[in-house]
Structure 1
Amino acid sequence: MSKPGDGPPSTAQEQTPVTGTAVSAAAFSPTPGSRAVESHDLLAGQSSVLIRHLGEIYRLQTTRQGKLILTK
């Protein structure tokens, strides 16, 4: 658990998950200009990973049900 002063305060807006459409494994082929990445390769055995995008930090994490959540 974080303590006061460990980082910037979070707001409800920052914790809003990004939702999207799940794609079946059979349809897992990248389109031109994109690449496919296995989640276990990205997470490397961890339950979450931080992603820096355009100067912002996002957290990609797995749930107990095996789903992914991306939060800002």
Structure 2
Amino acid sequence: MGKRQIIYRPDRIANNQELVNREVNLVTREARVWHGILTLVGASEVELKDARSGRHRFSITEIEKIYSDIKTEY
């Protein structure tokens, strides 16, 4: 089994409902990395729930990229 990384840049994030309920890593423009599940993806912001049940909101302009790992069969 392998892994593949899917990367979303800011132009592919806004209103992308494919990202809702997905476990991701979110990288801000300040090079901070947040890990959690996206609970909301809107036109101008996203909400991430981390493992400690904290909810964090990020403006899409603050985001460098969002990426997730997909397990593959090969």
TM bracket, shorter-chain basis:
under 0.3
Select the structure of larger CA radius of gyration.
Answer: 1
| TM-score, with length taken from structure 2 | 0.24
Higher strand share: 2
| TM-score, with length taken from structure 1 | 0.25
Greater RCO (CA < 8 Å, at least 6 residues apart)? 2
